[in-house]
Amino acid sequence: MGGKSTGKSAAAGHRGSMALAPARGRELRSRQLAGAAFVAVSAIGFGALGIFGKVAFAAGASTATVLFLRFAVAGTLMAALMTVLRLPWPRGRDLGILAAMGAVGYVGQAYCYFSSLRHASAGLTALLLYLYPALVTLASAVLGRQRLTPLKTAAVVTSLAGIALTVADGLAGTPTGIAFGAGAAVIYTGYILVGERVTRRTGAIPAATVIMLAAAAVYGGALTWEGARWPSDAAGWGAVAAIALFSTVVAMVGFFAGMERLGAADAATLSTLEPVVTLALAAALLGESMGPLQLAGAAMVLGAVVALARAER
């Protein structure tokens, strides 16, 4: 009797686990779809950043004014989110590192990116920024943090060749704009390498909040020194609001939420939608166009970024 009873219990347990398997599969798929949706919204937000920047500049706003408003509004909202989620603030050495990342790294990267928008097309600026995955890969290999495999080497070479092809074919941009765009990628590379470890200790949202508030403080000082030039019309103010809310807070929180559900590699792969969104919006709203060679160069850059993201799996 005991043996039969044990056998029946085992069979019942097996059937129960089989019944749970489809439910777990559906839950996993639902989680992955939600993650993909979060990252897609994030990519659209970040991708639209250059378009909103062009509109704000056309309304007469200065670079420092736009960036002060961006970081002050976004940092305040992120601090409120931390309060709601009861997240702890970074302390001690980590707090100092994050403040420096905001006051130096993010300030420099954002200034170069938005300055590039004044001297180059939104599409070219976005593609130049996307040099950073290749630069991070090279720098990580030099620092001994990861091995430079043949796949990664090929991806880096392809990315650089794609940028060269895009620029050589005449995508609208002056040498100054190209220099600022490439500078944004270089500074962002350093920012990522410095923040890679501290963000793991503090959490992504607290780290981002401190960085944005520190950047806001620097740009607030810049406005005190040079004076503010506010947008002159409703479209300009709307663009600034969209930069702070949609292209910063929503985009950043969306990426973190998607990464939590998908993992870093899949989230990074999907985030390559960002320059695609920029190129599409720039063509539709700003009249920017790309020829066959430029499209080929852009495809090379995006393909290389996807390959680098997948290589981290």
Largest CA distance in the chain: 90
Find out whether 207 and 199 touch, Cβ atoms under 8 Å.
yes
What does pTM read for this prediction?
Answer: 0.78
DSSP class of residue 173 equals: B
Range of the domain at 306: 34-311
Which residue has tokens 């030099």?
Answer: 142
Residue 6 lies in a domain: no
Res 56: pLDDT: 94
Q: CA 222 to CA 279: how far, in whole Å?
A: 31
Residue 44 lies in a domain: yes
Q: CA 293 to CA 246: how far, in whole Å?
A: 32
User: What is the DSSP secondary-structure string of 98-118?
Assistant: HHHIIIIIIHHHHHHHHHHHH
- In the chain, the number of structural domains is 1
Res 146: pLDDT: 73
Which 3 state secondary structure label does DSSP give 91?
coil
Find out whether 69 and 145 touch, Cβ atoms under 8 Å.
no
Residue 109 lies in a domain: yes
Residue 122 lies in a domain: yes
Q: CA 185 to CA 171: how far, in whole Å?
A: 18
Q: How many residues does the chain have?
A: 313
**pLDDT 10s digit of each residue in the chain, 313 long?**
445 555 555 555 555 555 455 666 667 677 777 877 888 888 889 889 989 999 999 999 999 999 999 999 999 999 999 999 999 999 999 999 999 989 998 899 999 999 999 988 888 888 888 888 778 778 888 888 777 788 878 877 887 787 777 666 555 678 898 899 999 989 988 887 887 778 778 888 898 899 999 999 999 999 998 888 999 999 999 999 999 999 999 988 888 777 777 666 566 667 777 877 887 888 888 887 767 777 787 787 777 777 766 665 5
Res 168: pLDDT: 63
Residue 168 burial by CB count (10 A; 0-12/13-18/19+): exposed, middle or buried? exposed
Q: CA 34 to CA 126: how far, in whole Å?
A: 26
Residue 281 lies in a domain: yes
Find out whether 192 and 132 touch, Cβ atoms under 8 Å.
yes
Residue 28 lies in a domain: no
Residue 18 lies in a domain: no
Residue 282 lies in a domain: yes
Res 167: pLDDT: 65
Phi, then psi, of 120 in degrees rounded to 5: -150, 165
Q: CA 285 to CA 123: how far, in whole Å?
A: 12
Q: CA 266 to CA 226: how far, in whole Å?
A: 43
Continuous H helices in 101-233: 107-119, 122-129, 132-142, 150-168, 175-202, 204-226
Res 103: pLDDT: 93
CA of 5: how far to CAs of 10, 11, 15, 142, 310, in Å? 9, 10, 15, 63, 50
Residue 301 burial by CB count (10 A; 0-12/13-18/19+): exposed, middle or buried? buried
